[in-house]
Amino acid sequence: MKTSVSILITLMTFTSCFCAKGLPIKQTTNQVQEQNQKAIIDHSAWDKLLKTYVADNGDVDYKGFKNNAVALNKYINYLASQVPTEQWSKQEQLAYFINVYNANTIKLIIDHYPTKSIKDIKNPWLKNRIKIGEKEFSLSGIENGILRKMNEPRIHFAINCASVSCPKLLNTAYTADNVDALMEQATKAFIQNTDKNKISENRIQLSKIFQWYKGDFKDSGSLIDYVNQYTTIKINPDAKVDYLEYDWNLNEQN
């Protein structure tokens, strides 16, 4: 998969549809990238927080985040005031909604900290806790009602559910300039992580993310075709596919 930000749009139709409570969402008929435009949103405050409280392996210092909740809430309130418009590029929207999801997941955990698992919180994904303009959203609404509608399966490896089996939370904020490269990096790192996926030529044991969202990877052909783009071992087309148990324990720094 090419990741250059200068890649030209080919063999695609680029449209905007109004969904997800009236927010405009950029969609493509194929997995392609739009040329970058000037950044609209400043994610530097989030980047600073991530670099302070997230380790390189993705483990999170939730105590540190809780002690600096003022800075986190200030960034989340800033995001809430920045309502996407049709003029935003696809990259700008992807970076914005990925950061909205991840920052609000951290907020959810520290608002209920200490906790052993996000699943110990009542309705962690379905309760409306996120504001964008005058609208309220749940984490599920951001993921399923917005990000998944953008026809970009790599978002599944960019958003983090605060759990051990999740793709790791990067300690770099997504921006319009880096979102494509970081999603590619996150996808490759997750698929090649032997704790999250076990790959061999004739049998693969995958994260349940691939089971839950199997249809999101169909544009590449089969699920094996998609995974093969990121593996060092070539998986046979008729390889046996199983799914690993998901560890919902908190991805907390020791």
Q: What is the pLDDT of residues 168-223, one digit of tens each?
A: 999 999 999 999 999 999 999 999 999 999 999 999 999 999 999 999 999 989 99
Q: 108: which 2 tokens?
A: 């959810």
Question: Residue range 69-98: average pLDDT?
Answer: 97
Q: 98: which 2 tokens?
A: 């990925």
Q: Which residues touch 93 (CB under 8 Å, ≥6 apart)?
A: 25, 26, 84, 150
Question: Residue range 68-73: average pLDDT?
Answer: 98
Distances 155 to 55, 94, 98, 111 between C-alpha atoms, Å:
21, 8, 7, 25
**Dist CA 109 CA 100 (whole Å):** 14
- 37 close to 89: Cβ distance less than 8 angstroms: yes
Q: Provide the pLDDT confidence category of residue 20 given band limits of 50, 70 and 90.
A: low
Please determine, for residue 227, whether its predicted confidence score (pLDDT) is greater than 60. Answer: yes
Tell me the DSSP string of 157-168. GTS--SBTTSPP
pLDDT value, residue 220: 83
pLDDT value, residue 11: 21
**Dist CA 98 CA 177 (whole Å):** 14
Per mean pLDDT, which range of 30-34, 96-100, 157-161, 175-179 is the poorest? 30-34
- Each domain of the chain, given as residue ranges in start order, spans 14-193
Q: Provide the pLDDT confidence category of residue 37 given band limits of 50, 70 and 90.
A: low
